[in-house]
Amino acid sequence: MALSIGIVGLPNVGKSTTFNALTKTQNAQAANYPFCTIEPNKAIVEVPDKRLSKLSEVVKPERILHSVIEFVDIAGLVKGASRGEGLGNQFLANIKESSAILHIVRCFEDSDITHVEGRIDPIGDIEIIELELILADIVTLQKRILKLQKDTKSKKGTDKMLEIANKLLTHLESNNPASNFKLKDSEEFLELDSELRFLSAKEVIYGANVNESALENDNEFVRKVREYGEKKGAVVIKLCAKIEEEMVGLSDSEREEFLESLGCKESGLEQIIRTGFNKLGLINYFTAGIKEVRSWTIKSGSKAPQAAGVIHKDFEKGFIRAETISYDDFIKYGGELKAKEAGAMRSEGKDYIVKDGDIMHFRFNV
């Protein structure tokens, strides 16, 4: 299960610079004018997980395979994007494919970098983007309602769906996002969201892009974004896109030393991935053998057969049992054999709920 994060924001807030830094590539052109990113840039990035290194020290595999995350750099939206302003709602469609949104907000002053609205106002910037997402959802939902109205005459059970759709439309037209719709847990809403992928229903992480001087202590702009995020129940991550870009190419030890000198414990990438996993309810389990040590991403609460199915559908279809060792026990006893001798290997059945860090070996028959 790959995590996909769409990077959005107004032009010239540091989206493409952030993309370059986070993906350790220079594929996104960073320039000081709006719409320099015309097509969405995509990059697959390994999810950093120090546990894989520890496991490989024990197993000494031929290769190590991390879970991956996809970053999508979506061109700068502007006021009126849902009506086709700027480069239009083609970019709004790109957001639909993302699992979550990383909303980069400009929290620095720099007279050399123009602002499309002619001022530095992070909350105003956020509200512009979020309103455009709501307006795009309204257009999408209105089309679906027209179809539902026709279907009520010929399809049974459509009335309830139409009722929920109309209530949602009223909610959106009051400039409220789908994420706080009071019936968002209803079967009808979930079905609509699965089909239409409401933009304003997606989990949002705010990325407060600052200059180096504000990395250790929040500036006024960051404080405002944190207050806004707290009201919305959203996580705010402070990062300096320029600094993140400077860390490209550094070794792990050099990066850690550099971050420590700045008063930071984690890079922006690590914070974003950890937050994204948490927001989307994702965890990792591992397989560990001589051929490879590998991380697999699943939904928290997944049962063993579902986890097996991430490797191959036949594993889920013919699931018999899972031989499981916790990560801590695997490291403590120095591998599978000694963990088994110590009684730390468990045989789990179909109802076992996989835990983050479990080392799994599946038995199946098809």
Which domains are assigned to the chain? 3-279 (3.40.50.300), 301-364 (3.10.20.30)
What are 331's two structure tokens?
């490291």
Q: What is the model's pLDDT at position 87?
A: 44
pTM of the model: 0.83
What is the rounded average pLDDT for all residues in the chain? 86
Question: Quick check: 35 pLDDT over 50?
Answer: no
pLDDT band at 346; cut points 50, 70, 90: very high
SS (H, E, C) the chain: CCEEEEEECCCCCCHHHHHHHHHCCCCCCCCCCCCCCCCCEEEEEECCCHHHHHHHHHHCCCEEECCEEEEEECCCCCCCHHHCCCCCCHHHHHHHCCCEEEEEEECCCCCCCCCCCCCCCHHHHHHHHHHHHHHHHHHHHHHHHHHHHHHCCCCCCHHHHHHHHHHHHHHHHCCCCHHHCCCCCCHHHHHHHHHHCCHHHCEEEEEEECCHHHCCCCCHHHHHHHHHHHHHCCEEEEECHHHHHHCCCCCHHHHHHHHHHCCCCCCHHHHHHHHHHHHHCEEEEEEECCCEEEEEEEECCCEHHHHHHHHCHHHHHCEEEEEEECHHHHHHHCCHHHHHHCCCCEEECCCCECCCCCEEEEEECC
Q: What is the model's pLDDT at position 344?
A: 97
Max mean pLDDT among 24-33, 111-120, 144-153, 302-311 falls in 302-311
Q: What is the model's pLDDT at position 24?
A: 67
Question: Quick check: 28 pLDDT over 50?
Answer: no
Residue 69 pairs in a beta bridge with 3, 45
What are 44's two structure tokens?
């697959």
What mean pLDDT do residues 192-221 have? 92
pLDDT band at 116; cut points 50, 70, 90: low
What span, in angstroms and rounded, lies between the C-alpha atoms of 200 and 174?
13
